[in-house]
């Protein structure tokens, strides 16, 4: 019974990890601009991220190393420094996008400028991490994140054409506006392959002392958790395709995206959208901020655990204490949270190979994972998706940035 509870909690946690500002924004953009046509990107990316998450958990179960810890040990400090700089920059931008998401959610229900909320959200985040334990931070936010099932209910209520939706799982080229199509595709992949998520997942496994006996639970959690998360993201694509695109509404701001919930839920629509966005982003910003601390602490060999009191791992606490206000300042300075989000998700796709390839090396290294190594098919599948996403990102990012 306890095992079943752990699996259920793990799945809920994974949904929380999956659905964040990036997933919501890119799915809404895709649905409004291209109907259901981009569901295949989500399906392909989900298969890949299920496998990657499972790998990160398996590494922790067998080797008792978190991902960053093992990468530094296996690839050396020089490579780790490169990874550290890349992930620091991208994670700070993602943190800003998540804080911006919570601030926009509050702005949607109050009408007050979102910039005023950024410092308040940042303080709330910091105090929760400072006072909370890993399970409070992780499970509390994830359980609240179940509200995002409202997207599934809304999509169901709209009565989507299931047959056409199933057809959209087969890859297809854009019907119009190729640069935008591929930029959104990269954004969707980037929102799935968020490097912070892999290290956060493996660090969580260490925090919760996973061992060989948890390998099966890890597999179930990765597959079902990511699967449920993908189902919610697919619901957003479909809801947006059914309610925004047919009216000619494109998603250039969160205010426009929020309209997708009004048709199925009436006057509850905007508050529900705001609650989904706010809670999902708050949960994800806790994870990103903590991951930055894990990154530094594991890389430099400091004491680390969210379960320790801050004075027992002062440098770990210092990193998130600095990162959170920087994220809030970025929201205020850069403005337009939706643009920060789409750009940071595309950068995630650029950074993905830097973390995924060392993970693949580790997962084929008998010294780390003994007989629990990867199959060749999985290695090839993950490598191909990551390389393709990286190449598309290189082409699509400049095109889309210059295109505004």
| Nearest distance in Å: CB 404, another protein | 7
Closest CA to 199 of 292, 76, 327, 63: 292
- Point out which span in 16-24, 141-149, 163-171, 191-199 binds another protein (CB under 8 A): 163-171
> Of these, 12, 21, 32, 222, which contacts another protein (CB under 8 A)?
32
Binding-site residue total for another protein (CB under 8 A)?
Answer: 50
Closest CA to 73 of 229, 241, 347, 299: 299
DSSP state, 306? Answer: T
| Nearest distance in Å: CB 402, another protein | 4
Is the separation of the CB atoms in 215 and 59 below 8 Å?
no
Q: How far apart are CA 281 and CA 284, in angstroms?
A: 5
Query: For 35-177, where are the alpha helices, taking DSSP H only?
Result: 39-63, 67-110, 114-131, 134-135, 141-144, 149-157, 162-167
| Nearest distance in Å: CB 336, another protein | 9
376 binds another protein (CB under 8 A): no
| Nearest distance in Å: CB 34, another protein | 5
> Of these, 27, 96, 99, 168, which contacts another protein (CB under 8 A)?
168
Of 297-356, binders to another protein (CB under 8 A) are none
DSSP string, 150-198: HHHHHHHHT---HHHHHHTTS----SS-HHHHHHHHHHHHHHHS-HHHH
| Nearer Cβ to another protein (175/211) | 175
DSSP string, 5-40: HHHHHHHHHHHHHH-SHHHHHHHHHHHHHHTTTTHH
Residue span 240-279 as binding mask against another protein, x where in contact by CB under 8 A, dash where not: -xx--xxxxxx-xx-xx-xx--x---xx-xx---------
Q: How far apart are CA 230 and CA 210, in angstroms?
A: 25
> Of these, 132, 174, 227, 378, which contacts another protein (CB under 8 A)?
174
Q: How far apart are CA 176 and CA 182, in angstroms?
A: 11
108 binds another protein (CB under 8 A): yes
Q: How far apart are CA 346 and CA 396, in angstroms?
A: 9
281 binds another protein (CB under 8 A): no
CA dihedral 199, 203, 204, 210 (to 10 degrees): 120
Q: How many residues does the chain have?
A: 404
- Point out which span in 109-117, 197-205, 300-308, 370-378 binds another protein (CB under 8 A): 109-117
> Of these, 19, 24, 28, 33, which contacts another protein (CB under 8 A)?
33
> Of these, 161, 166, 303, 375, which contacts another protein (CB under 8 A)?
161
> Of these, 164, 302, 329, 383, which contacts another protein (CB under 8 A)?
164
Is the separation of the CB atoms in 285 and 102 below 8 Å?
yes
Of 37-96, binders to another protein (CB under 8 A) are 37
- Point out which span in 32-40, 129-137, 199-207, 326-334 binds another protein (CB under 8 A): 32-40
- Point out which span in 27-35, 123-131, 198-206, 281-289 binds another protein (CB under 8 A): 27-35
DSSP state, 246? Answer: G
Is the separation of the CB atoms in 225 and 14 below 8 Å?
yes
- Point out which span in 2-10, 63-71, 206-214, 239-247 binds another protein (CB under 8 A): 239-247
Binding site for another protein (CB under 8 A): 32-37, 107-111, 160-161, 164, 167-168, 172-175, 238, 241-242, 245-250, 252-253, 255-256, 258-259, 262, 266-267, 269-270, 390, 394-395, 397-399, 401-404
């Amino acid at each position: 019974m306890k095992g079943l509870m752990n699996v259920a909690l793990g799945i809920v946690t994974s949904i929380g990890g999956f659905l964040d500002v990036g997933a919501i924004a890119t799915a809404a953009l895709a649905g409004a601009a291209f109907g259901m046509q981009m569901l295949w990107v989500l399906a392909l990316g989900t298969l890949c991220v299920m496998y990657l998450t499972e790998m990160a958990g398996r590494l922790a179960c067998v080797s008792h190393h978190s991902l960053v810890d093992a990468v530094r040990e296996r690839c050396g400090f020089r490579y780790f420094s490169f990874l550290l700089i890349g992930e620091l920059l991208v994670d700070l931008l993602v943190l800003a996008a998540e804080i911006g998401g919570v601030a926009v959610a509050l702005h949607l229900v109050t009408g007050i400028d979102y910039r005023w909320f950024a410092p308040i959200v940042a303080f709330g985040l910091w105090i929760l991490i400072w006072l909370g334990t890993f399970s409070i931070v992780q499970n509390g936010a994830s359980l609240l994140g179940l509200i995002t099932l409202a997207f599934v209910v809304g999509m169901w209520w709209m009565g989507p054409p299931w047959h056409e939706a199933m057809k959209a799982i087969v890859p297809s080229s854009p019907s119009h506006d190729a640069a935008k199509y591929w930029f959104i595709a990269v954004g969707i992949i980037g929102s799935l392959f968020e490097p912070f998520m892999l290290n956060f997942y493996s660090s969580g496994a260490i925090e919760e002392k996973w061992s060989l006996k948890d390998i099966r639970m890890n597999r179930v959690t990765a597959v079902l958790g990511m699967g449920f998360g993908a189902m919610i993201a697919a619901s957003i694509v479909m809801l947006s395709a059914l309610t925004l695109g047919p009216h000619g509404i494109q998603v250039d701001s969160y205010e426009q995206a929020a309209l997708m919930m009004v048709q199925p839920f009436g006057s509850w629509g905007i508050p529900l959208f705001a609650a989904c966005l706010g809670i999902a982003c708050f949960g994800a910003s806790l994870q990103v901020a903590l991951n930055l601390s894990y990154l530094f602490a594991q890389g430099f060999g400091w004491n680390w655990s969210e379960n320790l009191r801050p004075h027992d791992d002062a440098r770990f606490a210092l990193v998130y204490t600095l990162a959170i206000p920087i994220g809030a300042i970025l929201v205020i300075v850069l403005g337009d949270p939706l643009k920060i989000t789409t750009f940071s998700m595309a950068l995630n796709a650029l950074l993905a190979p830097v973390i995924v390839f060392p993970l693949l090396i580790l997962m084929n290294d008998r010294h780390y994972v003994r007989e629990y190594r990867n199959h060749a098919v999985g290695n090839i599948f993950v490598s191909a998706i990551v390389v393709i996403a990286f190449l598309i990102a290189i082409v699509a990012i400049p095109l889309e940035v210059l295109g505004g």
